[in-house]
Amino acid sequence: MKKINLYMSIVLSALSVFVMVESKKMPAEIAGLGMGPGVLPFWLGAGILLLSIILAVESLLDKRSPKKVFNISEIKNMGIMFLALVLYAISVDLFGFGISTLLLVFFLVRRLGKYAWWKCGTIGVIVSSVSVYLFRVLLEMPLPTGIVGF
């Protein structure tokens, strides 16, 4: 945990400095307002900076042996999953909601559960048809149709 906390405080400090610099660029005062738009973000940045310095000091003083937090295979597995979701988000607009959902559910069920492909496919068809029927048809929600039209 020790190392991770240290890295985290570095990342957060960088973020807070960025926030503080950006908020200084905002107008400090606007006619008729008690407080300009940049005031609160500036102090938020300052607060995060202060806390991350405390975190860094804490973790440097921490005597416990560091615990490994991230391992490569975990990150790889998560990355594949996340990539699938990103592709899904893109494909929803491009190819339509129904077909993308079908593919996503197929992929997820297969990956999480390692079932036979036809089982995954059926679940995919059911989930996507039910959600399209429920939301697009019944509730008239404008879910994207894309080029496939489903």
Partner 1 sequence: MKKNIKLIAMLVLALFAATMASGCAGTKKEDASAKYPTKQVNMVIAFTAGGSSDVQARIVEKYWKKHFNDQPLVFDYKTGAGGQVGFTEIVKAKPDGYTVGGINVPHIAIQSLSNQATFKVDEFAYIAQVVADPNLLVVKADSPIKDLKGFIEEAKKKNGKLTVGIVGTFTAHHLALLQMEEILGIKVTPVPFTGAADQNVAVMGGHIDAMIGNLNDVMRDLAKFKLISLASEQRHQWVKDVPTFKEQGYNFISDIRRGFAAPKGIDPAVLNKLREGFNKIANDPAYLEDMKKIGQPEAYLNGDEFEKVTNSYLQTSKTLVDKYGLVKK
Partner 2 sequence: MPSFDLLMQGFATAISPENLFFAFLGALMGTLIGVLPGIGPTSGIAMLLPLTTILPPTPAIIMLAGLYYGAMYGGSTTAILVNIPGEVASVPTAMDGYKLARKGQAGPALATAAISSFVAGTLSLVGLTFFAPTLAGFSLKFGPPEYFALMILALSVVVNLTGKSLVKGLIAGLLGFLIAVIGLDPMSGYARFSFGNVNMMSGIDFISVIIGLFAVSEVLSNVETHVVDVYKAKLTGLMPTLKDLRQITPTMLRSTVIGFFMGLLPGCSPGVTAFVAYDTEKRLSKHPEKFGTGILEGVAAPEGANNATTSGGFVPLMAFGIPSGPALAVLLGGFMMYGLQPGPTLFEKNADFVWAVIASMYIGNVMLLILNLPLVGLWAKLVRVPYPIMAPMVLVFSIIGAYSVRGKLFDIGVALFFGLIGWVMRKVELPASPLILCLILATILETSLKQSLSMSTGGLGIFFTRPISLTLITVALVLVAFSLYTRFKHPEKASEALAEESE
Site membership for partner 2, residue 72 (CB under 8 A): no
Least Å distance, CB 116 to partner 1, is: 8
Site membership for partner 1, residue 135 (CB under 8 A): no
For partner 1, the binding residue among 33, 40, 80, 90 (CB under 8 A) is 33
Least Å distance, CB 67 to partner 2, is: 8
* C-alpha torsion 119→122→124→130, nearest 10: -140
Least Å distance, CB 112 to partner 1, is: 19
Site membership for partner 2, residue 35 (CB under 8 A): yes
Computed on alpha carbons and rounded to an integer, the radius of gyration of the chain in Å comes to 24
For partner 2, the binding residue among 14, 93, 116, 137 (CB under 8 A) is 93
Total binding residues toward partner 1, as defined by CB under 8 A: 18
For partner 2, the binding residue among 10, 14, 28, 89 (CB under 8 A) is 89
Site membership for partner 2, residue 20 (CB under 8 A): no
Least Å distance, CB 118 to partner 1, is: 5
Q: HEC string of 96-143?
A: CHHHHHHHHHHHHHHHHHCCCHHHHHHHHHHHHHHHHHHHHHHCCCCC
How far CA 85 is from CA of 28, 34, 79, 89, in Å, comes to 41, 44, 10, 6
Closest CB to partner 2 among 63 and 114? Answer: 114
Least Å distance, CB 99 to partner 1, is: 8
Closest C-alpha to 22, from 4, 40, 3, 10: 40
Closest C-alpha to 22, from 33, 11, 37: 37
**Tokens encoding 143:** 């879910």
